[in-house]
């Protein structure tokens, strides 16, 4: 998974460089009022707000320890909506807050153990390539806080307890495609690290690392 993230980030950098050069040449050649208006009406700039709505596929890369490993515990995928807000602090630099929630079914060699809700707000610092262009790759890195709630996990008639929260890093790569002056399409991929400890009747079952890959497509608006 980490290799995939590095590949995507590298691709975003290459795309950014490829689109940045033509954009710079076009800006140098723009001498008429209409050309200046076109150059400043598109892209993104410091002070802009970007709001995106995505459909995301959350694909856990579950790892376990101790009894959880012996029971072959795994976590199912989920498809849910996601909302994010980006504030551009520089033409090329933004801060993004990602909001969304999902519910995942947990399986094992004993069968379905039930479901648990996951609320993982994530804060990322982003670098945007070709910020004045219509195709704008970006990469991001930040921190994730995960809240586990509405726990419905059980085994042998007893509830499986899990930790309430976790902190972990997050990486991101994506591309915005400008459609109109205000509207753009978006493709985005994130890697988020999250984990929780599980116990049954006070006895530790081990640690569950969920560490999902999050793939999303959607639309956005610039304000």
User: Distance between CA 165 and CA 194 in Å, rounded?
Assistant: 9
Contact, 198 vs 208, CB < 8 A? yes
* pLDDT for the residue numbered 41: 53
DSSP 69-90: HHTT-EE--EEEEEEEEEEESS
User: Which tokens sit at 107?
Assistant: 């399986």
Helices 33-41 and 2-29: crossing angle in degrees, nearest 10, is: 160
* pLDDT for the residue numbered 54: 98
* pLDDT for the residue numbered 81: 97
pLDDT by 10s per residue, the chain, length 223:
444 444 444 444 443 444 344 444 444 444 444 433 344 457 999 999 999 999 999 999 999 999 999 999 999 999 999 999 999 999 999 999 999 999 999 999 999 999 999 999 999 999 999 999 999 999 999 999 999 999 999 998 899 999 999 999 999 999 999 999 999 999 999 999 999 999 999 999 999 999 999 999 999 999 9
* pLDDT for the residue numbered 163: 94
Domain ranges of the chain: 2-222
**What does pTM read for this prediction?**
0.79
* pLDDT for the residue numbered 156: 86
* pLDDT for the residue numbered 42: 73
Q: According to the CATH classification, is domain 2-222 in 2.40.160.20? A: yes
User: Distance between CA 14 and CA 20 in Å, rounded?
Assistant: 10
């Amino acid at each position: 998974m980490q290799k995939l993230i590095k590949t995507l980030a590298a691709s975003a950098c290459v795309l950014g460089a490829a689109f940045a050069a033509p954009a710079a040449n076009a800006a140098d050649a723009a001498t008429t009022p209409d050309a200046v208006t076109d150059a400043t009406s598109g892209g993104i700039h410091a002070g802009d707000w970007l709001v995106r709505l995505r459909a995301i596929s959350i694909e856990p890369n579950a790892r376990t320890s101790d009894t959880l490993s012996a029971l072959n515990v795994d976590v199912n995928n989920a498809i849910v909506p996601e909302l994010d807000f980006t504030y551009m602090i520089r033409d090329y630099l933004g801060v993004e807050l990602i909001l969304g929630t999902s519910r995942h079914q947990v399986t094992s060699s004993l069968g379905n153990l039930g479901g648990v809700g996951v609320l993982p707000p994530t804060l990322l610092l982003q670098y945007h390539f070709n910020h004045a262009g219509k195709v704008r790759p970006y990469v991001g890195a930040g921190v994730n806080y995960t809240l586990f709630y509405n726990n419905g996990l059980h085994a042998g008639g007893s509830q499986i307890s899990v930790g309430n929260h976790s902190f972990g890093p997050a990486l991101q790569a994506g591309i915005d495609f400008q459609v109109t002056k205000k509207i753009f399409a978006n493709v985005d991929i994130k890697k988020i690290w999250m984990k929780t400890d599980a116990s049954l009747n006070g006895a530790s079952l081990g640690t569950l690392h969920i560490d999902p890959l999050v793939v999303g497509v959607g639309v956005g608006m610039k304000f």
